């Protein structure tokens, strides 16, 4: 991002514990400490004090909770604002933004607590319009990223997933993912009225056309993730899940399975994030009500979920 000139928070790449602690001190210990590798969406620890930074560095670089992803960490200044997830689809020549979603990473309703792979998301045409009008997504992200790729003779096809913070000082890109976001995909693509397979094939074969990206519903969509006791640590699994069939019969509701298995005609939880209960409706408020009503029909021992998903969109 530095090479491409893409707006991003100030940060340092650190290969030792001492370097990480020194970098955090530059930001008055208000920073994000990120494992430099794959960590199942849990490798970012938000810190507000010296003790929290110490615990984060201990967890990632010394205890090696995320394995080799802890060889290095990125320490970034902690920006304040509203997060949004922007997905971009590219073929060898063209790149277009998809609609916008917002996810909820922290385990607690107050935005604090442990970082998770994502506890829910919402997407709406209003969120997309407000984000695209307020910030120069195409100029500041897409064009600069493509120019950097050309400079390094990189041809990229597929989905690019910049997570951004919308601040008073403009948009800051927190990270780039080379995948579709989860749980953003559940709310985002519930609104897509085109042929997703056709879209992905066009990306892979250099046949993207702008009209393929204009097939979005004006409906809003909300996804609430139901998780197992213990998550984002070691989950308590093996419990029977009831109510899925009843919940799926509700208007506008789809249920995406993440950590389940079916055995003897019954569902059981097998992982940390278990279900993505997703609902569409004409407004965010109605979609949220439908999603939480469906969640209320589902039961298993130790289940939990955040209770404020999509509050920002009301």
Domain coordinates in residue numbering, the chain: 11-77, 82-213, 220-309
Q: How far is CA 166 from CA 1, 24, 163, in A?
A: 17, 22, 10
Class of domain 11-77: alpha beta
Distance CA 217, CA 257 (A): 23
| Cα dihedral across residues 242, 245, 249, 255: positive or negative | positive
Please give the chain's pLDDT, 314 residues, in tens. Answer: 888 899 999 999 999 999 999 999 999 999 999 999 887 777 888 899 999 999 999 999 999 999 999 999 999 999 888 888 999 999 989 999 999 999 998 899 988 788 888 999 999 999 999 888 877 888 889 999 999 999 999 999 999 999 898 888 888 998 888 889 999 999 999 999 999 999 999 999 999 999 998 899 999 999 999 999 999 999 999 999 999 999 999 999 999 999 999 999 999 999 999 999 999 999 999 999 999 999 999 999 999 999 999 998 98
β-pair partners for 107:
none
Class of domain 220-309: alpha beta
Residues 6+ apart with CB under 8 A from 298: 226, 241, 242, 243, 244, 247, 275, 277
Distance, C-alpha 55 to centroid of its chain:
24
Residues 6+ apart with CB under 8 A from 131: 84, 86, 100, 137, 166
End-to-end CA distance of the chain: 33
Residues 6+ apart with CB under 8 A from 111: none
CATH architecture of 82-213: 2-Layer Sandwich (3.30)
């Amino acid at each position: 991002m530095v090479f491409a000139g893409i707006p991003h928070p100030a940060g340092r790449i650190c290969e030792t514990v001492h370097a990480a602690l020194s970098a955090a001190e530059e930001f008055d210990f208000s920073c994000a400490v990120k494992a430099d590798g794959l960590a199942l969406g849990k490798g970012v620890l938000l810190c507000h004090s010296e003790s929290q930074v110490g615990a984060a560095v201990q967890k990632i670089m010394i205890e090696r909770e995320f394995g080799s992803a802890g060889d290095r960490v990125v320490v970034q200044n902690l920006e304040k604002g509203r997060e949004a997830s922007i997905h971009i689809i590219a073929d060898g020549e063209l790149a277009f933004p998809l609609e916008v979603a917002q996810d909820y990473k922290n385990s607690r309703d107050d935005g604090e607590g442990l970082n998770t792979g994502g506890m829910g998301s919402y997407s709406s045409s209003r969120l997309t319009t407000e984000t695209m009008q307020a910030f120069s997504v195409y100029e500041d992200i897409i064009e600069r990223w493509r120019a950097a790729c050309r400079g390094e003779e990189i041809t990229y096809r597929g989905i690019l997933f910049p997570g951004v913070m919308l601040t008073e000082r403009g948009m800051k890109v927190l990270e780039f993912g080379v995948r579709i976001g989860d749980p953003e995909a559940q709310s985002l693509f519930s609104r897509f009225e085109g042929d997703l397979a056709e879209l992905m094939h066009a990306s892979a074969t250099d046949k993207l056309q702008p009209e393929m990206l204009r097939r979005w519903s004006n409906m809003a969509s909300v996804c609430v993730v139901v998780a197992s006791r213990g998550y984002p640590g070691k989950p308590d699994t093996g419990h029977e899940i009831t109510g899925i069939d009843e919940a799926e019969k509700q208007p506008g509701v789809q249920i995406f399975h993440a950590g389940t298995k079916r055995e003897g005609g019954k569902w059981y939880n097998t992982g940390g994030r278990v279900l993505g209960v997703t609902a569409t409706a004409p407004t965010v408020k109605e979609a949220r009500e439908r999603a939480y009503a469906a969640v209320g029909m589902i039961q298993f021992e130790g289940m939990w979920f955040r209770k404020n998903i999509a509050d920002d969109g009301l």
